[in-house]
Amino acid sequence: MEKRKERSGPSRRAQEITPFLVMDILERAKELERQGEKIIHLEIGEPDHDTPQVVKEAAYRALAAGETQYTHSQGLVELREALSQHYLEKYRVWVKPERFIVTSGTSPAMILIFAGLVDPGDEVLLTDPHYACYPNFLRLVDAVPRYVPVSEEDGFQLHPEELGPRLTPRTKAMIINSPANPTGTLLNAECLARLAELGPYVVSDEIYHGLVYEGKEHSILEFTDRAMVINGFSKLYAMTGWRLGYLIAPEDFIRPLQKLMQNFFISANPFVQRAGIAALTQTGPEIEKMRATYDTRRRFLIEGLQRLEFRLPVPPTGAFYVFVNARHLSQDSYALAFDILEKAGVGVTPGIDFGAGGEGFLRFSYANSMENLAEALRRLEVYLTDFKGLEK
């Protein structure tokens, strides 16, 4: 009888997952803070605003009323109805409440979508650069990411005609993110309409909707039903720690996705879902004030980075990031980001975190106060003066 070969150690999937490099920067920054250093955090994409008070109060009331048990696996019907009304008012698109699945943040929504959409070996198109975690979500279900280069010269716009030659019999879907992380790029209506005509399913990450300063954001659902939407409350409503997201899918996907939800996540927290209803229906003026604040910071940071000779041909118009070319300083963005952290006390994200097309770039988040942004620019100016001095 043949002896069974012993296999030990982590799984192939676990070993192939790449690290989330922004967390490497953040964790080192926290170490420096414990040593007494004052670090300015421009690396993480997290609002510095507090969650609106009406949202907190809705959660308090739900907890006091004993809403601490499982809900329907797709989420509270009241929240799904509020989301349906939101899409009707904002995008003029009617999405039945039954097409929503509420999740504990957008990461579970991505897991559900890709587990329910692609089979091993299926290909999914995405831009390069892209949100750092997309390829790892795809690898988790043994899908194959295929990258479409986008250029800083035209603001990292995705051109639908460039996808045609990349479509193969194994192409199942494409991922779009508008406004985008890390670039702040906004896709216009014409682009979305043409993407919808290509054939594969469109997975549209719309988490930064509402954080747009020039132009207008559009949902992919305005152009096709052959699409899946990822969205949530973390960015626009300053609710990152609440972990509340949702997905929208075509009707024939809902039961399969619901089964995945039932098995792997059961349901999102009930009192957090009540808070989400309040966020959707009661925070309009406060959210607009936050958006205006981000816009002021955006303009300030763009001007400051350009003054420091970082290359930025097309300023970003959405999200809360500025993605600048720093290749004149180094071709190794990871090493450069750590050098800036150690010597200037400013946390920034290395562009390589977002794919090979991001190498040599740095991402700056303006989800921080004007005071801290000004101090960060001052520190960077000192750092760059010293850097140029060392080059001579």
Contacts of 152 (CB under 8 A, 6+ apart): 311, 312, 313, 314, 323, 325, 361
12-50+285-384 in CATH: which number? Answer: 3.90.1150.10
Q: Give the pLDDT score at 169.
A: 95
**How sure is the predictor about 387, in pLDDT bands with cuts at 50, 70 and 90?**
confident
CA distances (Å), origin 321, targets 16, 46, 135, 153, 181: 28, 11, 20, 17, 7
- As a whole number, the mean pLDDT across the chain is 95
For residue 131, pLDDT beyond 50: yes
Contacts of 273 (CB under 8 A, 6+ apart): 71, 75, 76, 79, 102, 244
Q: Give the pLDDT score at 390.
A: 52
Q: Give the pLDDT score at 392.
A: 46
**How sure is the predictor about 13, in pLDDT bands with cuts at 50, 70 and 90?**
confident
For residue 275, pLDDT beyond 50: yes
What are the extents of the domains in the chain?
12-50+285-384, 53-282
- Model confidence pLDDT, tens digit, residues 33-72: 999 999 999 999 999 999 999 999 999 999 999 999 999 9
**Exposed/middle/buried for residue 318 (C-beta within 10 Å: 0-12, 13-18, 19+):** buried
Torsion angle defined by CA atoms of residues 160, 163, 164 and 170, in that order, rounded to the nearest 10 degrees? -140
For residue 296, pLDDT beyond 90: yes
Q: Are residues 145 and 173 in contact, defined by beta-carbon separation less than 8 angstroms?
A: no
Q: Report which DSSP code applies to 362.
A: E
**How sure is the predictor about 14, in pLDDT bands with cuts at 50, 70 and 90?**
confident
Q: Give the pLDDT score at 12.
A: 85
What average pLDDT does range 317-333 have in this prediction?
A: 97
What average pLDDT does range 71-89 have in this prediction?
A: 98
Prior bond of 316 cis (ω within 30°): no
Q: Are residues 129 and 323 in contact, defined by beta-carbon separation less than 8 angstroms?
A: yes
**How sure is the predictor about 17, in pLDDT bands with cuts at 50, 70 and 90?**
confident
Q: Give the pLDDT score at 155.
A: 93
For residue 6, pLDDT beyond 80: no
Cβ-defined contacts of 140-148 (< 8 Å, 24+): 140/13, 140/17, 140/111, 140/114, 141/114, 141/115, 143/114, 143/118, 143/119, 143/172, 144/170, 146/171, 147/355, 147/356, 147/357
CATH 3.40.640.10 fits 53-282, yes or no: yes
Note the pTM of the prediction, 2 decimals.
0.94
Prior bond of 182 cis (ω within 30°): yes
Contacts of 124 (CB under 8 A, 6+ apart): 114, 118, 138, 143, 144, 145, 146, 171, 172, 173, 174, 175, 203
The residue ranges of DSSP E strands in 132-286, in sequence order, are 144-149, 171-177, 201-205, 227-232, 245-248
Q: Give the pLDDT score at 137.
A: 96
